[in-house]
Amino acid sequence: MVKTHVTMTVNGEAAELLCDTRATLLDVLRDELDLTGSKEGCSSGDCGACSVMLDDRLVCSCLVLGAEAEGCAIETIEGMADDDRLHPLQQTFLEEAALQCGICTPGFLVAAKALLDRHPDPTETEVRYWLAGNLCRCTGYDKIVRAVMLTAADMRGEPR
């Protein structure tokens, strides 16, 4: 089995490993780097539970080969909080009960952060379409969308 040598940065830290050619970035994050916050829900890019940032692009890590991440900057859920300060999205998700079982939550948070970083003032429709690639079976999306809208207002310094 041929292995590929890959160096990348993950959440700002250098990572270096030998990865199976067939291994996805998700496999690498979870199995080689012990970053199990990104989840495997479907392995076909349909559920978004594996969402990470790859060079500032929101992607499904199950659809990226580990080898493709050479020289790239990866951000996962584990890098979202700043020491013991949760990101506003994480805090608002807790306050607004925007999670129930929590399996989809890392994917939603990474995706929502990508949204607000680019579009600080989204409408409800824009939030829903941006997050359409993140499946949730527990919440019916209501509280998730509300939490994202509330956080957007907070981050703009506007009243909710």
Partner 1 sequence: MTTNGNGSTQGNGLKWVGKRTIRPDGVDKVTGRAQFGADFTLPGMIVGQVLRSPHAHANIRSIKTDKAEALPGVKAVVTSADFPELPSTFEAAGEVMLNFRDMSCNVLARKKVLYHGHAVAAVAATSVAVADQALALIEVDYEILPHVIDVIEAMAPDAPLLHDDMFTIGVEPTPDKPSNIAKRVEYGLGDIEAGFKAADVVVEREFTTKAVHQGYIEPHAAVATASEDGQCHIWCSTQGQFVVRAYVSKLLGLEISQLRVTPSEIGGGFGGKTVVYLEPLALALSLKCHRPVKMVMSREEVFQASGPTSGAHVWVKVGATKDGRITAAEAVLKYQAGAVQGSPIMPGCMCAFAPYDLENVKVVGFDVVSNRPKVAAYRAPGAPISEFGVECVIDEVANKIGMDAIAFREKNAAREGTHAAYGPRFGPVGYTETLRVAKEHPHYHAPLGPNQGRGVASGFWFNIGGDSSAALHINEDGTATVISGCPDIGGSRASLVIMAAEILGIDVDRVRPIIADTSSIGYSFLTGGSRVTFATGMAVIQAAEDVVRQLRERAAMIWEIDVEAVVWENGEARPSGSNAGEFDPLSLGDIAAKAGKTGGPINGHASLNAQGAGPAFGTHICDVEVDKETGRVTVLRYTAVQDAGKAIHPSYVEGQIQGGAVQGIGWALNEEYIYDEKGRLENAGFLDYRIPVASDMPMIDAVIVEVPNPKHPFGVRGVGEVPLCPPMAAVANAVAAATGLRMADLPISPPKLLEAIDNGL
Partner 2 sequence: MRYQAPGTIDEAVAVLAAANGGAQVLAGGTDLLVQLRAGMIGPEVIVDIKRIPELRAIAVENDGFRIGAAVAGAEMGEHAALKASWPGVVEAMELIGSTQIQGRATPGGNLCNASPAADCVPAMLAASAMCTIAGPTGRRDLSVGDVATGPGQTALGKGEFVVDFRLPERPPRSGDAYLRFIPRTEMDIAVVGAGVNVTLDNDGVCTAARVVLGAVAPRILLVPEAAAALVGARLDDDALGRLDAACRAACRPIDDKRGTIVYRTKVSGVLACRAAAIAFERARTS
Residues that bind partner 2 (CB under 8 A): 2, 4, 21-22, 24, 43-46, 48, 51, 54, 57-60, 62-65, 67-68, 70, 111, 114-115, 129-134
CA distance 72 to 98: 31
- 113-152 residues near partner 1, rule: CB under 8 A: 124-125, 127-129, 131-146
- Which residue, 60 or 89, has its beta carbon nearer to partner 2? 60
CB 142, min distance to partner 2, A: 16
Q: Which does 81 bind (CB under 5 to 8 A by kind): partner 1, partner 2, none?
A: partner 1
Contact 64, 54 (CB under 8 A): yes
93 touching partner 1, by CB under 8 A: yes
Q: Which does 59 bind (CB under 5 to 8 A by kind): partner 2, partner 1, none?
A: partner 2
Q: Which does 122 bind (CB under 5 to 8 A by kind): partner 2, partner 1, none?
A: none
CA distance 149 to 130: 12
Return all residues near 158 (Cβ < 8 A) that are at least 6 apart: none
Return all residues near 13 (Cβ < 8 A) that are at least 6 apart: none
Q: For residues 39, 35, 52 and 106, what is the CA-based torsion angle, rounded to 10 degrees?
A: 50
Options 5, 7, 46, 120; binder of partner 1; rule CB under 8 A? 46
- Exposure on the CB side of residue 158, measured as CA atoms within 13 A: 9
